[in-house]
């Protein structure tokens, strides 16, 4: 610390010397001592240097406390910091006149508050709006004070005023700190807790994708949870086990969350299933109920199955399930039962999907998008297209469609059958 004080004094002496020399060569006094002059900027530089030294003092004290905590020692944070010569006011620590906010759980500095004093006349009002999918929370912050606002910070990030309000979007639960400073360096602090968001499970590797599938097949439904695919996947050397299955209303496992592909691609999906007459649901997802599959592409998939309800994306779209913005770029589907490029059998909603895979069927319900929609429950299929080739037997009981085997659809059909 002594070296820092000496360097600070040396800096001042150097600045004074430079000012004298500038005056001697004719530089104006205003340029030196004005509001944005050399002297003002020099003072700010020294102040910043001193604040950094104060912060370093506090950092070292907190580091020592963290070590004591990790070693299992019982610690009294306030008393320890006071013994270091600091002033403690709740979560505010004053070091050499500079104020810092700390997190007493993590023992870390969360904000630098400068030299100003708490201004209790500053009123901070926060309105929280959680989006319907519970993925984001919009914070609307309004400030009331006498004078002008110097800055509004949220966890160290500067916010910008627009139409008399400061807004920002939060994607993770936690406690966030708002610090408002006025033109006299007075400040006010408000903590905001966000706890209603659904934080996504991110999948970055093929191993993580397989592990996710195993968790669902072991009975974890992921209801009210979000799974996000963060990169393209290559499943070329894997005989994929569909996520979920359906035997009866009493015996099934379904994914019930939101799976967002973020427009990434599943490459070389391979599924081979035989001798499953009592089972339904073969596809990337075998059974999806009240959940959503969206924003995903499939490249070079190969699906062969004798099961009921077979497709590339979802075998059985069970009650109130949704498929949105899913495209098969190419590939093949070959099987029996209800057969489709996107979905085999549906009790849900399919929207903005496209199939370019070729379909070969030996069964009674075959179509480019979905083989069979349960008429008493199934909802509309909208804004979907099929460009894949469909081969199916011609028999009295067979039903073949470019989009779907029944008529509940807004058709956009470019198929060859």
Instruction: Tell me the torsion sign for CA atoms 207, 210, 216, 221.
Output: positive
Is the same domain home to 389 and 323?
yes
Instruction: Tell me the torsion sign for CA atoms 44, 46, 51, 52.
Output: positive
- Specify the number of domains making up the chain: 3
Indicate whether 104 belongs to any domain.
no
Question: What average pLDDT does range 86-108 have in this prediction?
Answer: 88
Is the same domain home to 296 and 358?
yes
Q: Which residues share a beta bridge with 273? A: 305
Kind of pairing between the strands at 187-194 and 174-182: antiparallel
Is the same domain home to 407 and 288?
yes
Nearest to 173 by CA among 217, 127, 213, 135: 135
CATH number at residue 398: 2.160.20.110
**pLDDT score at 415:** 37
Which range (40-54, 264-278, 342-356) has the least confidence?
40-54
pLDDT surpassing 90 at residue 215? yes
pLDDT surpassing 50 at residue 417? no
CA dist 78 → 88, 175, 214, 277, 362 (Å): 6, 21, 48, 69, 76
**pLDDT score at 327:** 98
Using alpha carbons only, what angle is made at residue 237 by residues 236 and 238, rounded to the nearest 5 degrees? 95
Higher pLDDT, 208 or 23: 208
pLDDT surpassing 60 at residue 291? yes
**Close Cβ partners of 205 (under 8 Å, ≥ 6 residues apart):** none
**pLDDT score at 34:** 53
Dump pLDDT digits (tens) for 158-172: 999 998 899 999 988
Instruction: Tell me the torsion sign for CA atoms 77, 83, 84, 85.
Output: positive
Is the same domain home to 153 and 269?
no
Indicate whether 21 belongs to any domain.
yes
Indicate whether 394 belongs to any domain.
yes
Domain end call among 142, 175, 194: 194
**Close Cβ partners of 209 (under 8 Å, ≥ 6 residues apart):** 203, 229, 233, 235
Spatial distance between the Cα atoms of 71 and 123, rounded to a whole number of angstroms: 42
pLDDT surpassing 70 at residue 48? no
DSSP structure string for 363-415: SSEEESSEEEE-TTT---EEEEEE-SBEE----TT-EEESSBSSS-EEE----
Domain end call among 138, 170, 194: 194
Indicate whether 99 belongs to any domain.
no
Higher pLDDT, 11 or 54: 54
Dump pLDDT digits (tens) for 233-279: 999 989 999 999 999 889 999 999 999 999 999 999 999 988 766 68
pLDDT band at 28 (very low <50, low <70, confident <90, very high): low
Indicate whether 81 belongs to any domain.
yes
8 Å CB contact between 369 and 384: yes
Spatial distance between the Cα atoms of 291 and 321, rounded to a whole number of angstroms: 5
């Amino acid at each position: 610390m002594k070296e820092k004080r000496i360097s600070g004094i040396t800096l001042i002496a150097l600045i004074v010397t430079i000012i004298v020399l500038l005056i001697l060569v004719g530089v104006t006094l205003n340029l030196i001592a004005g509001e944005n002059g050399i002297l003002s900027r020099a003072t700010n530089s020294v102040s910043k240097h001193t604040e950094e030294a104060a912060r370093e003092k506090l950092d070292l004290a907190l580091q020592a406390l963290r070590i004591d905590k990790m070693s299992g020692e019982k610690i009294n944070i306030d008393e320890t910091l006071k013994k270091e010569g600091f002033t403690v006011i709740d979560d505010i620590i004053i070091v050499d006149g500079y104020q810092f906010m700390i997190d007493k759980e993590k023992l870390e500095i969360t904000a630098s508050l400068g030299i100003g004093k708490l201004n209790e006349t500053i009123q901070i009002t926060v309105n929280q709006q959680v989006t319907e999918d519970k993925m984001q929370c919009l914070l609307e912050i309004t400030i009331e004070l006498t004078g002008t606002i110097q800055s509004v910070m949220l966890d160290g990030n500067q916010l910008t005023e627009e139409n008399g309000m400061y807004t920002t979007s939060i994607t993770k639960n936690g406690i966030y700190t708002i610090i408002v400073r006025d033109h006299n360096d007075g400040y006010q602090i408000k903590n905001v807790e966000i706890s209603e968001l659904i934080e996504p499970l991110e999948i970055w590797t093929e191993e993580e994708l397989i592990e996710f599938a195993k968790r669902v097949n072991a009975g974890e439904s992921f209801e009210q949870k979000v799974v996000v695919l963060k990169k393209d996947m290559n499943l070329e050397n894997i005989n994929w086990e569909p996520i979920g299955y359906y035997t009866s209303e009493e015996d099934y496992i379904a994914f019930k969350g939101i799976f967002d592909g973020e427009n990434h691609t599943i490459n070389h999906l391979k599924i081979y299933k035989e001798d499953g007459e009592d089972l339904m649901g073969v596809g990337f997802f075998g059974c999806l109920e009240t959940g959503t599959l969206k924003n995903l592409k499939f490249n070079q998939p190969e699906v062969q199955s004798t099961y009921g309800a077979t497709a590339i994306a979802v075998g059985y779209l069970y009650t109130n399930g949704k498929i949105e913005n899913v495209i098969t770029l190419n590939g093949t589907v070959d099987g029996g039962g209800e057969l489709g490029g996107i979905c085999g059998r549906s009790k849900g909603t399919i929207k903005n999907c496209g199939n370019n895979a070729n379909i070969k069927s030996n069964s009674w319900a075959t179509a480019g998008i979905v083989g069979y929609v349960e008429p008493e429950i199934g909802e509309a299929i909208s804004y979907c297209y099929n460009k894949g080739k469909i081969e199916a037997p011609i028999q009295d009981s067979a039903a073949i469609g470019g989009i779907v085997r029944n008529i509940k659809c807004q058709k956009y059909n470019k198929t060859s059958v």
